[in-house]
Amino acid sequence: MNEFIELTEEKWFDTFKPIPNHLDENASFNDGKNGYLFETYGEELDFVRNQEPNKIWTYCDGDDGGTYIFNGMHIVNRIGYLVTTLPFYGNKDYQIQISSNDLYVCPNCDEEWEDESAALHYEKFEDLEKCAGCATIEEIAEIEEMETHNANLRN
């Protein structure tokens, strides 16, 4: 059985050194300078497939509602792929938790929201990439309008 290793996102970046996506200047999984995520189709997938297998990582939705990076190339629940400069070892299984429904960190102001507030933020504000405190009155009104519209469609 492989050794199971959990790392923080920062430790993973520092240890394995992911390479920026040179094919898409708007790639996600962005650190403010570079985007690192490669798509699951087309030219970006072709690039990933041509890398050494022990330098490919998969960014996935987890069963618990969070998101994770796992070593290797996976298909189920994949969001995209990351390629690193340094390899992982085949006798280790890595898990890097990126997000959790139990904790929401606003990408705009870094405020942390926990438990039920975190779930609310993932449900309502994640697409805005900001928390309720950063959202404008207009953005909140738009969310409420969309929820009302969707509720009316279900009835």
Domain closes at, from 79, 99, 119: 99
- Residues 102-131: pLDDT tens digits? 677 788 888 887 766 666 766 777 777 788
What per-residue confidence (pLDDT) applies to 36?
97
DSSP percent split of the chain into helix, strand, coil, nearest 5? 30, 25, 40
15 with 90, same domain: the answer is yes
63 with 38, same domain: the answer is yes
87 with 16, same domain: the answer is yes
10 with 57, same domain: the answer is yes
Q: How many domains does the chain have?
A: 2
46 with 121, same domain: the answer is no
What contacts 136, CB < 8 A, 6 or more positions away?
A: none
81 with 140, same domain: the answer is no
What per-residue confidence (pLDDT) applies to 66?
80
14 with 71, same domain: the answer is yes
Q: To the nearest whole number, what is the mean pLDDT of the chain?
A: 87
68 with 91, same domain: the answer is yes
- Contact 40/80 with Cβ under 8 angstroms? yes
What per-residue confidence (pLDDT) applies to 76?
92
Residue-number span of the structural domain to which 52 is assigned: 3-99
57 with 115, same domain: the answer is no
- Residues 17-51: pLDDT tens digits? 999 999 999 999 888 899 999 999 999 999 999 99
Structure-token pair, residue 10? 């920062």
